[in-house]
């Protein structure tokens, strides 16, 4: 009873315990439970693959391959890492390998040469306020945000997605992409500032025009 | 600009680390102080904070229609196929053991159901050899021959006896001079050994009866 109360008071703990139990059972050979284990992360796995490949079909295929690889190597998973992080890292590896095979990196890499050394200065200093999370209920808003993200150069987009969308920490992001922690920090700063400016421009273009903002202010 | 202690450009370059909680206390205090008086930098701070919050929302990650179903199906297919967990050497142990068992079983079955062939022509007892046929044996040899066979060894120690007697003493037909008796041996398999053995038994009974 006492244990049940602990879980009621702390749903996160209950979820973590349940995940550990599922991992142990799959590691013992109950492979039919694997989908139940990865289901909470399937969207994040797909998003990680899409950030690197920029193609929905390839991203889905790589997400599936990554899941199969995770299942094949589930016995190597150790509890020192979060399961979700381990899964995302496998996905990033798969996606990077796919991109290398298909040589798209060469094409994209041409865009990535500029701009790393120079400092990025924000362009818009309007009086912003917090944008309500409810705005994400609107597909149009999500679409606009996704489009803004897609305009970033690959190296900024990858770091931003892994850190701010996949919730890997700085060190994990660096390891997943095979770059230094300092590079992650630099790219993350640029990605965040560039997105901020893109969304400011989006405001000017009326992306959020139907949102209940006060007249004369921007959404943050 | 506004705050003498720290410039806006420095704040912008540290804004991401500031939001990560990854600046040393002195710098954090200076930035906090700067934000109190600099609207531009507050705008950058709040805008960046909102970018992180919006993109970090689960709703920002959308998957194609049917994605979950296709993933589940593919994982299910992999379970029905070869067990992907068995990617190491141990995966080969079961089929290897099965092959060995099958091979061993076949070998055992053959050994019990099929008559073992003669290991050597020299051990063949022959067939239809007339029991009273006179044959020749010699010392230190295992064969009996037709008189005059060029393959008789130690001719100076040869001895003549009947084929039946030679068989009883453990001699076998010469593969050269008695070949015609050997060629049909495997088909008919009427062995002189049996006849010789019958004679031995008869002799033994006679001896016993005499006693």
Residues B47-104: tens digit of each pLDDT: 899 899 999 998 888 889 999 999 999 988 877 654 444 444 555 566 677 777 877 7
Q: Does A122 share its domain with A216?
A: yes
Higher pLDDT, A166 or B85: A166
A88 and A177 part of one domain: no
pLDDT for the residue B192: 45
Domain co-membership, A38 together with A84: yes
**Higher pLDDT among residues A29 and B86, named by residue:** A29
Rounded to the nearest 5 degrees, what angle is found at the Cα of B121, between the Cα atoms of B116 and B124?
70
DSSP secondary structure code for residue B68 in this structure: H
Say if residue A124 is in the same domain as residue A97. Answer: no
The CA distance from A120 to A208, in Å, is 25
Calpha distance B118→B129 (Å, rounded): 18
Note down the domain range covering B60: 1-82
From chain B, the residues in CB contact with A120 under 8 A are 12
| Cβ contact A23:A83 at 8 Å | yes
Q: Which of A74, A102, A130 is the endpoint of a domain?
A: A102
Position A7 scores a pLDDT of 53
Domain count across chain B: 2
The pTM for the full model equals 0.61
Residues of B in contact with A119 (CB under 8 A): 9, 12-13
For residue A193, which residues of chain B lie inside 8 Å, CB to CB?
12, 15-16, 44, 48
Q: Does some domain include residue A111?
A: no
Residue B208 has a pLDDT of 38
pLDDT at A105 over 90: no
Cβ–Cβ below 8 Å for B84 and A32? no
Based on the number of CB atoms within 10 Å of its own CB, is A100 exposed (0-12), middle (13-18) or buried (19 or more)? Answer: exposed
B74 in the same domain as B125: no
The alpha-carbon gap from A207 to the nearest alpha carbon of chain B, in Å, equals: 14
pLDDT of residue A10: 65
Task: Give contacts of A165 with chain B, Cβ < 8 Å.
Answer: 55-56, 60-61
The answer to whether the CB atoms of A164 and B56 lie below 8 A apart is yes
Which of A46-50, A90-94, B52-56, B92-96 has the lowest average pLDDT? B92-96
Given a cut of 80, is residue A107 above it in pLDDT? no
B85 touching chain A per CB within 8 A: yes
Is B116 among the domain residues?
A: no
Same domain flag for B125 and B205: yes
Establish if A110 belongs to a structural domain: no
Whether residue A95 is predicted with pLDDT greater than 90 in this model: the reply is yes
- Residues B127 and B204 both lie in one domain: yes
Whole-angstrom Cα distance, residue B150 to residue A140?
Answer: 111
Q: Cα–Cα distance between A207 and A213 in angstroms, integer?
A: 12
Report the CATH number at residue A43.
1.10.1740.10
A69, closest residue in chain B (CA to CA) = B84
Q: For residue A113, what pLDDT band results from cuts at 50, 70 and 90?
A: very low
pLDDT at A140: 83
Statement to judge: residues A95 and A6 lie in one domain: yes
Please identify among residues 31-50 of chain B the ones whose CB lies closer than 8 Å to any CB of chain A: 39-40, 43-44, 46-50
Q: Are residues A19 and A63 in the same domain?
A: yes
pLDDT level of residue A127 (50, 70, 90 thresholds): low
- Do A22 and A52 fall within a single domain? yes
Could you please report the per-residue DSSP string of B141-173? --EEB-TT-TT-S-GGG-EEEEHHHHHHTT-EE
Which segments in chain B show pLDDT lower than 50? 1-3, 82-88, 113-121, 186-211
Question: Quick one: pLDDT at residue B2?
Answer: 44
* pLDDT over 50 (residue A111): no
Same domain for A143 and A213? yes
B52 → chain A, closest CA residue:
A164
- Substitution target in B53, B58, B63 with the highest count of A β-carbons within 10 Å is B63
Q: Is pLDDT larger for residue B3 or for residue A125? A: A125
| Same-domain pairing of A124 and A220 | yes
For residue B59, the chain A residues in CB contact (below 8 A) are 136-137, 142
Structural domain span for residue A89: 1-102
At B207 the pLDDT is 38
Question: Looking at residue B167, what is its pLDDT?
Answer: 87
pLDDT at A118: 63
Whether residue A189 is predicted with pLDDT greater than 80 in this model: the reply is yes
- Of A33-37, A52-56, A148-152, B148-152, the poorest mean pLDDT is in B148-152
Residue A194 has pLDDT above 90, yes or no: yes
Question: Looking at the domain assignment, is residue B91 inside a domain?
Answer: no
Instruction: Report, as an integer, the average pLDDT of A183-211.
Output: 81
- The total domain count for chain A is 2
* Confidence at residue A98, expressed as pLDDT on a 0 to 100 scale: 92
Contact B126, B192 (CB under 8 A): yes
What pLDDT was estimated at residue A139? 83
Please determine, for residue A195, whether its predicted confidence score (pLDDT) is greater than 90: yes
**Structure ipTM:** 0.79
Query: From the CB of residue B64, how many other CB atoms can be counted at a distance below 10 Å?
Result: 13
Residues of B whose CB is below 8 A from A219: 50
Judge whether B144 lies within some domain.
Answer: yes
How high is the pLDDT of residue A193? 94
């Amino acid at each position: 009873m006492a244990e049940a109360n602990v879980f009621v008071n702390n749903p996160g703990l209950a979820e973590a315990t349940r995940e550990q139990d599922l991992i142990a059972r799959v590691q013992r050979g109950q492979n039919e439970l694997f989908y139940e284990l990865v289901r909470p992360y399937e969207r994040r796995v797909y998003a990680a693959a899409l950030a690197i490949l920029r193609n929905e079909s390839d991203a889905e295929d790589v997400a599936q391959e990554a899941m199969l690889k995770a299942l094949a190597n589930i016995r190597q998973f150790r509890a020192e890492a979060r399961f979700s992080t381990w899964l995302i890292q496998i996905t990033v590896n798969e996606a990077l390998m796919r991109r290398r095979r298909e040589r798209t990196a060469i094409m994209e890499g041409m865009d990535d040469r500029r701009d790393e050394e120079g400092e990025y200065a924000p362009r818009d200093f309007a009086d912003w306020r917090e944008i309500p999370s409810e705005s994400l209920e609107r597909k149009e808003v999500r679409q606009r945000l996704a489009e803004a993200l897609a305009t970033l150069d690959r190296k900024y987009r990858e770091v931003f997605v892994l850190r701010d969308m996949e919730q890997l920490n700085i060190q994990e992001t660096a390891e997943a992409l095979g770059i230094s922690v300092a590079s992650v920090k630099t790219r993350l700063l640029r990605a965040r500032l560039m997105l901020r400016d893109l969304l400011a421009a989006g405001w000017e273009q009326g992306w959020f025009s139907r949102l209940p903002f006060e007249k004369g202010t921007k959404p943050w | 600009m506004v705050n003498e202690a720290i410039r806006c450009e420095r704040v912008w370059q540290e804004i991401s680390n500031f939001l990560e909680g990854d600046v040393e206390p002195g710098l954090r205090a200076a930035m906090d102080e700067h934000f109190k008086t600099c609207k531009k930098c507050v705008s950058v701070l709040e805008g960046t904070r909102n970018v992180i919050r919006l993109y970090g929302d689960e709703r920002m990650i959308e998957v194609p229609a049917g994605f979950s179903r296709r993933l589940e199906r593919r994982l299910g297919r992999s379970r029905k196929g070869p067990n992907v967990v068995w990617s190491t050497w141990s995966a080969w142990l079961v089929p290897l053991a099965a092959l060995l068992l099958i091979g061993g079983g076949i070998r055992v079955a053959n050994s019990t159901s099929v008559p073992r062939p003669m290991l050597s022509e020299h051990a063949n007892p022959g067939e239809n050899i007339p029991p009273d046929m006179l044959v020749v044996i010699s010392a230190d040899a295992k064969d009996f021959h037709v008189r005059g066979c060029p393959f008789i060894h130690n001719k100076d120690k040869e001895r003549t006896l009947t084929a039946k007697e030679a068989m009883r003493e453990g001699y076998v037909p010469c593969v050269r001079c008695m070949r015609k008796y050997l060629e049909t041996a495997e088909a008919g398999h009427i062995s002189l050994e049996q006849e010789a053995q019958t004679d031995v038994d008869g002799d033994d009974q006679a001896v016993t009866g005499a006693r």
